[in-house]
Amino acid sequence: MAPQAREMFEEVIIADDAVRIAASAALSQLTAFSRWLAVHQRRWSPAAETGQFTARDDLGFAREALRKLDAHPKLLPVIEDVLAELEAEERE
């Protein structure tokens, strides 16, 4: 997960101290939650045999992230890029 997060947000994070601090806190929370899931033998998403999230589900998550993170304008372009990719995937 960390390499994917770094790839998506690196340019934004390294450019601004305030964004880097906020991202660090968020990634620490994400790490803590991931550990909690592992300890409780839970997963981030359903197992493949029970079905994964659809492109429409992912699109909903991205739209929600866009609303929730509107106070962090430097993160919005990254989310908007993901949203555009998901919308294109849904149209296919």
Per-residue model confidence as pLDDT tens digits over 56-65: 888 888 889 8
53 vs 33, which has greater pLDDT?
A: 33
Average pLDDT score over the chain: 80
* Structure confidence at residue 47 (pLDDT): 57
Which region among 4-13, 49-58, 78-87 has the lowest average model confidence (pLDDT)? Answer: 49-58
Q: Which two tokens stand for residue 57?
A: 């589900």
Q: Are 90 and 56 in contact (CB under 8 A)?
A: yes
Looking at residues 22-35, what average pLDDT do you find?
84
Structure pTM? 0.42
Which of the four pLDDT bands, split at 50, 70 and 90, describes residue 55?
confident
| CB-based contacts of 62, cutoff 8 Å, min separation 6 | 79, 82, 83, 86
Q: How many Å separate Cα 28 from the centre of its chain?
A: 13
Looking at residues 20-24, what average pLDDT do you find?
80
